[in-house]
Structure 1
């Protein structure tokens, strides 16, 4: 991005178009739309667009009743393509993407707007808060982990998140929006777009005060499928194609060390059970695991108590194992592709 583009951004008044893709999401939009419509009525955002992805229920009618502008996606396209459709028609200079199962905090528009005070910033995003309403273990665990990583990440981000994130419309259109050819189902299209925005010279910011409540209730099969096949493997493939690993969020160097510790813990436990090594070794590794994950354990404990924290820490080692396995699979694929070429 050159100095002339910076000057253009600094002179252009900010107007915000909220874009929310939705498919059969009545139970979510009854909670997620009212705060956004209130922001529009206060003049904090210009418009609230719900892109209906050919819902089979009354989602578009309910969205209109709640005060949103409803736009058809033109077919069962998926959220990435639906966002692209609305982005082309949006009137604002800023495109604020919000998932249908996300309820933004009252100050979100003001916090987000401040992020664009720097004309070199082309996009900002926030994080889930630490109070997810779904009370089952996996929903609490997943949302608290997301909150933990985003709250501790670098402010100048290396990627983008579309759950609650905004991009200058000009920059979004210049990059062609979300790549729906590479990602024809919900995956890491937001991460890939973030890479392109940065490679084009833009700056992305993670604003820790830009928070939202995530309404999704996670179940085990859905969580593992999403984490492994929709995120971990595609992200690993993308990083390998780009020639390097990020050092931020949940793929930073510290996280790789923790994943290694999780693997060593399992290995030493198995060797100990087989009588090959003393039980002292897995115990020592377990202590190292607790030490390495202490800050996350503290967050779990502060929000949900000791037993949840203990379960969360144990399950988090499972997360490291399947994430490392996904990366190993992507690495093997990458090696085989190079050998064939």
Structure 2
């Protein structure tokens, strides 16, 4: 079993170098995997980073969008298993070893959504805490909402080919769209807590606003395809007002002060306003953000 790791990148060479360093430290042998980095038009070429890692290849995709880049990575991949992650993720040292083990022990498993741990700095601000509470809840995504974020998605090549490529026209939400098509064809996702990548929390409110606007643009396109099982509907069911307050209160008792929890709640309410603005902008003919 040979694994192809596929990483799209766009103007984030600093994070990419850390990601590739994590892959260089994998506990599985270098003969068991390859890494295909897809540069999606970075101002400073990603090849300046990938040339430092002999196990890595860098290819180009000029069409904007991470899903176009992932599709190009698949086309260049040699593996019979595809492992998707992002340039700002840090795979655990046993990420590929555990992926290989689970696929070998469970031949009927076609796709795995591995866990994603949002990490904080030593003195986290409110934006980081918001991310750690509300973002990248892969266990919930896989077991309750039926999709896996491409920050940590492992798929057998034949299952990916049978489902079809990601929709390159989507700038966000392509993982949800692919997962819905996979499920509608009879595929099943499996959550694996020991197939772990870490994702540093966004450290600025500006970064959260940019992400929220990008996600809203993606959802607008995807949800029209699945009106009875939309991403917005299912996520709202999981994160209603009472659930939001419960998550915040649990965090306050564990590692966040009560005052900071209310600051995070205020941030969440503010991002809700951002979402409504973005929906209105798109409804008036605006273009989804990258």
TM-score by length of 2: 0.80
Superposed CA offset, 1:66-103 (max 9, x none): 33422322425432112111212211111111100000
SS at match of 1:213: strand
Instruction: Measure how far apart 1:58 and its partner are.
Output: 4.9
Classify 1:311/1:188 alpha carbon distance in 2 versus 1 (closer, same or farther; 3 Å).
Answer: same
Q: Give the 5 Å matches for 1:118-157.
A: 118-133=106-121, 135-146=124-135, 149-152=137-140, 155=143
Q: Contact (CA 8 Å) 1:102, 1:213: kept in 2 or not? A: yes
Q: Give the 5 Å matches for 1:1-341.
A: 14-39=1-26, 42-43=29-30, 45-116=32-103, 117-133=105-121, 135-146=124-135, 149-152=137-140, 155=143, 158-181=146-169, 183=170, 186-215=171-200, 217-227=202-212, 229-245=213-229, 251=235, 253-256=237-240, 258=241, 289=242, 293-319=245-271, 325=276
* Higher percent of residues as helix: 1
Provide the C-alpha distance between the structure 1 equivalents of 2:179 and 2:121, rounded to a whole number of angstroms: 29
Provide the C-alpha distance between the structure 2 equivalents of 1:221 and 1:124, rounded to a whole number of angstroms: 32
| Structure 1 unaligned residues grouped into runs of 5+ | 1-13, 259-288, 334-341
Superposed CA offset, 1:7-60 (max 9, x none): xxxxxxx32111111123221122111121232762584112222234332531
SS at match of 1:314: helix
Superposed CA offset, 1:281-310 (max 9, x none): xxxxxxxx5x86223431354233333223
Provide the C-alpha distance between the structure 2 equivalents of 1:97 and 1:218, rounded to a whole number of angstroms: 24
| Structure 2 unaligned residues grouped into runs of 5+ | 285-290
Instruction: Measure how far apart 1:156 and its partner are.
Output: 6.7
Provide the C-alpha distance between the structure 1 equivalents of 2:45 and 2:217, rounded to a whole number of angstroms: 35
Provide the C-alpha distance between the structure 2 equivalents of 1:296 and 1:111, rounded to a whole number of angstroms: 32
Classify 1:77/1:220 alpha carbon distance in 2 versus 1 (closer, same or farther; 3 Å).
Answer: same
Superposed CA offset, 1:134-157 (max 9, x none): 83321331233225x334555375
Superposed CA offset, 1:170-225 (max 9, x none): 122233311113x1xx3111111111111111111233333322236343344224
Classify 1:142/1:123 alpha carbon distance in 2 versus 1 (closer, same or farther; 3 Å).
Answer: same
Provide the C-alpha distance between the structure 2 equivalents of 1:178 and 1:37, rounded to a whole number of angstroms: 27
SS at match of 2:25: helix
Provide the C-alpha distance between the structure 2 equivalents of 1:312 and 1:64, rounded to a whole number of angstroms: 41
Provide the C-alpha distance between the structure 1 equivalents of 2:81 and 2:232, rounded to a whole number of angstroms: 25
Classify 1:69/1:299 alpha carbon distance in 2 versus 1 (closer, same or farther; 3 Å).
Answer: same
Classify 1:167/1:249 alpha carbon distance in 2 versus 1 (closer, same or farther; 3 Å).
Answer: farther
How many residues align structurally? Answer: 281
More relative contact order, 1 or 2 (CA 8 Å, 6+ apart): 2
Classify 1:38/1:67 alpha carbon distance in 2 versus 1 (closer, same or farther; 3 Å).
Answer: farther
